[in-house]
Amino acid sequence: MAVIKKTLKIDSSSDFQIINITNDIVTILNDINKEKNISVGIVNIFTKHSTSAICVNENEKGLLNDFEKVLKDIVKENDNYEHDFIDNNAASHIRAFLLGSSETVPIVDGRLDLGTWQSIFFVELDGPRRGRTIDLTFMGE
């Protein structure tokens, strides 16, 4: 079995941003499969930042706007958060708590085995930031 670690760097351009990283991961998987061939396995996609998240869902513009609205309704921007006294970004952290820091996607026949309407997103919750780091761990054979 092969275990292959890769890193993806993402720049965000606004405070809240949903960035589709599916094609970046497909490109990396295709590069891996030129040599080491992971035909069947998984890839874990893990953000290294506690004010960002990784999510799988549908890449539909209206839905992404709805998702932003609901997340901001659930977690208000300023609500006397204790963390705001030391870092002023508590809402970003709390939104990240709710969404989670990783997703695992199956690989079948050397390809990401996503559903027809599924994409993989990096969710920026405290941008804009340069060089957000996403760890990719491919495992399979």
Where along the sequence are the contacts to Zn ion (CB under 5 A)? 87, 89
- Shortest gap between Cβ of 87 and Zn ion (angstroms)? 3
Q: Which is nearer to Zn ion, 87 or 141 (CB)?
A: 87
Return d(Cα 98, Cα 48) in angstroms, integer: 16
Q: C-beta of 84: minimal distance to Zn ion in Å?
A: 9
Shortest Å, Cβ 92 to Zn ion: 7
Please identify, using beta-carbon distances, which residue of 77 and 87 lies nearer to Zn ion. 87
- What are the respective helix, strand and coil percentages of the chain, to the nearest 5? 30, 35, 35
Provide, rounded to whole angstroms, the least separation between the CB of residue 101 and Zn ion: 15
Residues 6 or more apart whose CB falls under 8 angstroms from that of 51 comprise 89, 92, 93, 96, 125, 126
Give me 22's structure tokens: 């599916």
> Distance between CA 11 and CA 124 in Å, rounded?
9
Q: By C-beta, is 69 or 72 nearer to Zn ion?
A: 72
Query: Closest CB to Zn ion among 92 and 119?
Result: 92
Query: Which residue sits closest to Zn ion, CB atoms considered?
Result: 87
Task: Locate 28 and state its tokens.
Answer: 């990396």
Report the alpha-carbon distance of residue 28 to residue 54 in Å, rounded: 17
